[in-house]
Structures are given as C-alpha cells and as structure tokens.
Amino acid sequence: ETGVTQTPRHLVMGMTNKKSLKCEQHLGHNAMYWYKQSAKKPLELMFVYSLEERVENNSVPSRFSPECPNSSHLFLHLHTLQPEDSALYLCASSQDPVGNSPLHFGNGTRLTVT
C-alpha cells in the first residue's frame, strides 16, 4: 500500500517520442514534487507545486513539462529527451510546501532514453 502512486514503473522511449509520467497522492497533501534520481548523485528537485500552483522550477530544460490539474495529481510530460535524461523520476508529496514537512515518495518511474 502506498500513499503516492506512480505510473508507469518503467519507460523506454526514443529521443523523438512524447510520453507522460503520472503521479497520484492519496494523503490529502497540499504540495507535490518531481525529483530526478541519477546514479551516485544527490536527489535533484525539478518542480514544486502547492495547491496546483507551480512554486518552483529549478532551471529544468523545457523538454520536461509539468502539469498539476488538482492537488492529488501530477504529470510530467516528456518530449525530445536526451540519453542523459535516463534516470529514476520520483514523485513526492508533503503536507505543506515548507522545509520541515516530510516528503512521501512514490516508487518512481525508471526512464531509459534510447
């Protein structure tokens, strides 16, 4: 059982494809996040949404496009990705978008760009 669900678990896409990652949280939280996890690197924050409004975009390339239609759902739309974008993409939620609110992560989507 998990409070944060991500689909798909695995995704292989070519550099010209368009795909979307989906995240859903069942915890009643007000903030949602996208993180990128690459081997031997710290977790990188990509986007933060608070009550469906984007509050942070950490200089992420425009080939990554987030969408938050409501406080329970978060998407990451992907297009014309590069091989170096291959990584584990983690969605997370927290009660509030403040620094001392613990993060609840999903299981992630393992993305491979060929």
Partner 1 sequence: GENVEQHPSTLSVQEGDSAVIKCTYSDSASNYFPWYKQELGKRPQLIIDIRSNVGEKKDQRIAVTLNKTAKHFSLHITETQPEDSAVYFCAASPYSSASKIIFGSGTRLSIRP
86 binds partner 1 (CB under 8 A): no
Residues 44-83 that bind partner 1 (CB under 8 A): 45, 48, 55-56, 58
Rounded-to-integer distance, Cα 11 and Cα 97, Å: 29
CA atoms within 13 A on the CB side of 25: 29
Task: Using alpha carbons, list the distances in angstroms from residue 27 to 5, 71, 81.
Answer: 11, 10, 31
Q: Is 40 in the site for partner 1 (CB under 8 A)?
A: yes
C-beta of 40 vs 84, nearer to partner 1? 40
Interface residue list for partner 1 (CB under 8 A): 2, 4, 31, 33, 40-43, 45, 48, 55-56, 58, 90, 94, 96-108
